[in-house]
Structure 1
Amino acid sequence: MSQPSQPYQQPSPYPQGSVPPGLGTPAARNGLGVASLVLGIIGALSGVIPFLFWLAGVLGLIGLILGLAGRGRARRGEATNKGVATSGVVLGSLALVLAVVGAALTFVFVGEVVKELDKATPSVSSAPGAGGGTDSGSGDAKGKALAAGDSAVYDDDLTVTVSEPVAYTPGEYAVGHTRGNKAYKVTVVIENAGKEKFDAGLTTVTARAGADGVEAESIYDDTTGTGFSGTILPGKKATAVFAFDSPAAAKALTVEVGPGILHDTSQWELKL
Structure 2
Amino acid sequence: MTTPADTPDSPPWAPPGPRPPAGPEAPRAEVPDSEVPGSEATPAGESRAEAAPAVTAHGAGVPQGPEAAVGSGMPPGPAMAYPAQAQAPAPFPGSPYGPGVPQGPGVPGVGPYGVPAARTGLGVGALVIGVVGLLFGIVPFLFWLGGFMGVLALVLGIVGYGRANRGEATDRGQAVAGIVLGAVTIVVAAAWLVVLIVAAQAVERIDERVREKEGASAEPFAPDGTARPEPSPEPTETETTPSTLAFGRTHTYEDGVKVTVSVPKPYRPDGFAAGYEKGDTALRVTITIVNGSDEALDVTTALPDARDAEGARASTIFDGSRATEMFRGTVLPGKQVKAGYAFALPADADGELQIELAPKLLAYEPVIWTGPVK
Q: Structure 2 length as normaliser, TM-score?
A: 0.36
Relative contact order: is structure 1 or structure 2 higher (C-alpha 8 Å, sep ≥ 6)?
1
TM-score by length of 1: 0.49
Q: Which has the larger radius of gyration?
A: 2
